[in-house]
A and B are shown apart, each in its own frame.
Chain A
Amino acid sequence: MNRTSILFLLLIFISICLFIADLVTGSVPIGVDEVIKVFFGKSDSAINSEILFNFRLPKALTAIIAGASLSVAGLMMQTLFRNPLADPYILGVSSGASLGVAVVMMLSTLVPLLDISSGWTSITAAVIGASTVLLFVVSISFKVRHAVSLLIVGIMFGTISSSLVSIIQNFSNPETVKLFLIWTFGSLSSVTWAYLKLLFPIVFASMGLAFFLHKRMDVMQLGENYARGLGISIIQTRFLVVLATGLLAGSVTAFAGPIAFVGVAIPHIARGVFRSSYHRVLIPACVLCGAALLLLCDIVSQLPTYILPINVISALFGAPIIIWIVLKRN
């Protein structure tokens, strides 16, 4: 068995352990034995089953889905732009999502019909915001000669969105601003089974697309001219990469809010651990590392008596990794 297979098995094992640990962690103490009992339907505690099935399990699954999606999306962006600091949000999709949410939250103070306490309202708004930006960026991806232009356009979209968000906040009442602020913290626990049913197929399909592109992305690492020389259609590949990234990052942001740094840090960890340049290794490596890291972040965020926002924890983990990368590159 070679090094890569051993690492994969090890990571799968770690992920499973973290998954179980995440199910066990929480304000109500539930032991591993109880977790097993609940899953085999042998527990007599209805409360424990309720907590595990309807709260902790969807939350842990969301951590896995979000971690995996953002990491793979980040990897694709770093490869497409050949830039180690590119992340899934660089295309502006999450800024679009937050703009959508901000608009809806402000509208809700004017239009009483909008019920922002329902998660679906903010999710619909986020999906619309993210898709609008994604459509823009994708259509631009056909027009520009160099991928760098796309990068600049994405960042500009992000800037415009956040300016608009600031304007909206300026005219909103403090409660709405706080509500929006909480949304930007990101939350894994707000994703219930009903949302997962929608989120999972989107993520699954986009992951499939990402993996379908693995060989092209290997070649894209050489740069666009070399890739073209090896018979790759740059425009088509760029479109598919942007689409997959937008769907992954956009859907996760819409359901769980923006989660910082996972997307930029994990691809570097995956490259460092697996020492490979092949995306057929790096994509599954990102899936596992991303899932494991976000599960860990979720566990850590629940250790204090007051639950910390996931965005804060992931940033605390991610930022040192980025500093390490910068120092290592010198």
Chain B
Amino acid sequence: MSVLSTHNLSIGYAQKKKVELIQSSLNLELHSGELVCLIGPNGTGKSTLLKTLSGLQKAISGEVRVDNKLLSSIKSYHKAELISLVLTDRVEVENATVRDIVSLGRYPYSAWWGSMNNDDEQLIERVIEMVHLGHKADKLLSELSDGERQRALIAKAFAQSTPIVLLDEPTAHLDLPNRVEIMLMLHRLAHETQKAILISTHELDLALQAADKIWLISKQNGVECGVPEDLVFNGSFNRVFESKAYFFNATNGNFSMNYQLDKEVKVEGDKTRMYWTLRALARAGFMVVDDASVQIIIDAEAWYVDEKRLTSIADLLHLLDKRFA
């Protein structure tokens, strides 16, 4: 079910007379129960798009519809019941515990005094558990690591109980385990809670693995939407991230560096060692071809060049260096 859609949306910045258009004629749809990753190079309008979809920034033209109502016509307090946000803004609140911060997510629903009823309190405990902060619920925000702090803010967004959650680079500044964990968590939550979750991210490989859909944003092609694998097959990634220095390696979903390959070798043998051997050879400037004067044979324990047995990559590269000198 589509919960958020755009029609001929143009985004950018409008100053007095000048309009700086970043993206135009966007027709996008966000469905419930889906994790969508918005990815693309810097300066293509990821944050601007998120801000426009959340109503923090005005659209230049076109419309954003939430629940089939125009976003601009929805009253701000009602909007808070439809869309929740996790932003890159640094949050510092003196004396506030994780529970306090998450409770603020209930602001749109609580009465003037701000007290919580039983249902509110249960929901708050539940979302704190969901982001695995149960043991830190009474810790001060200032005592948390960056990853935990980010999870607390995600819990706040979930406490807001909105059908749509927008997150702006939730994994920035986190180490790899935290990045993976947050991605997996968002994927799980989208499916379990049937929310529509849209995140902007630079983590291409993680996005490819965790996202149900990718919104690939670029200056040339606007926003291309699709299942990650389809975008890999139709070459969209390579077009968007085109560069002389690296290329999008469709076989493993990573970026590989473009080395200058001016020497040729032939390689055959053990499958598991092959991948790493090829990496090392590429870095040293060797192109692997079907027929070459130098042949490398790999078995489960060693490398052989002209029957000479080598027990490490270092030795192999050393020998090749001498051969091609």
Q: Residues of A at under 8 Å CB distance from B?
A: 82, 84, 212, 214-215, 218-219, 221-223, 225-226, 228-233, 271, 274-278, 280
Contacts and interface: CB of A to CB of B under 8 A. Distances in A.
Interface of B: 54-56, 76-81, 83-85, 87, 89-96, 100-101, 104-105, 107-108, 110, 112-114, 160
A230 B94 contact: no
B86 to A, nearest CB: 9
A215 B114 contact: yes
A318 B84 CA distance: 41
Contact of B56 (A228, A277, A280): A228
A231 B104 contact: no
A278 B114 contact: yes
Given A82-B92, A221-B93, A226-B91, A231 B114 contact: no
B106 to A, nearest CB: 9
A226 B85 contact: yes
Nearest to B84: A229
B101 to A, nearest CB: 8
Contacts of A221: 93, 96
A231 B85 contact: no
B91 A222 contact: yes
29 contacts: A82-B92, A214-B114, A215-B112, A215-B113, A215-B114, A218-B104, A221-B93, A221-B96, A222-B89, A222-B104, A223-B90, A225-B85, A225-B87, A226-B85, A228-B55, A229-B80, A229-B87, A230-B80, A230-B104, A230-B107, A230-B108, A230-B160, A231-B77, A231-B79, A271-B94, A276-B95, A278-B100, A278-B114, A280-B114
Given A229-B84, A277-B94, A215 B56 contact: no
Contacts of B107: 215, 218-219, 230-232
A233 B93 contact: no
A277 B93 contact: yes
B113 A280 contact: yes
Contacts of A215: 107, 110, 112-114
A225 B89 CA distance: 8
B270 to A, nearest CB: 54
Nearest to A234: B76
A223 B108 contact: no
Given A218-B114, A219-B107, A229 B91 contact: no
B89 A226 contact: yes
A277 B97 CA distance: 9
Nearest to B90: A223
Nearest to B88: A225
Nearest to A229: B85
Contacts of A271: 94-95
B194 to A, nearest CB: 21
Contacts of B112: 212, 215
Contacts of B56: 225, 228-229
Nearest to A214: B114
A79 B227 CA distance: 44
Given A215-B112, A225-B85, A230-B104, 8 more contacts: A82-B92, A215-B107, A218-B104, A221-B96, A222-B89, A222-B93, A223-B90, A277-B93
Contacts of B89: 222-223, 225-226
Contact of A232 (B76, B85, B96, B114): B76
A150 B219 CA distance: 36
B96 to A, nearest CB: 4
Nearest to A232: B76
Nearest to A84: B94
B91 A277 contact: no
A232 B104 CA distance: 12
A230 B90 CA distance: 16
A82 B91 CA distance: 10
Contacts of A233: 76
A231 B93 contact: no
Contacts of B54: 229
Most buried by B among A225, A233, A271: A225
Give me the 3 closest cross-chain CB pairs, A-B, nearest first: A231-B80, A231-B77, A277-B96
Contacts of A230: 80, 104-105, 107-108, 160
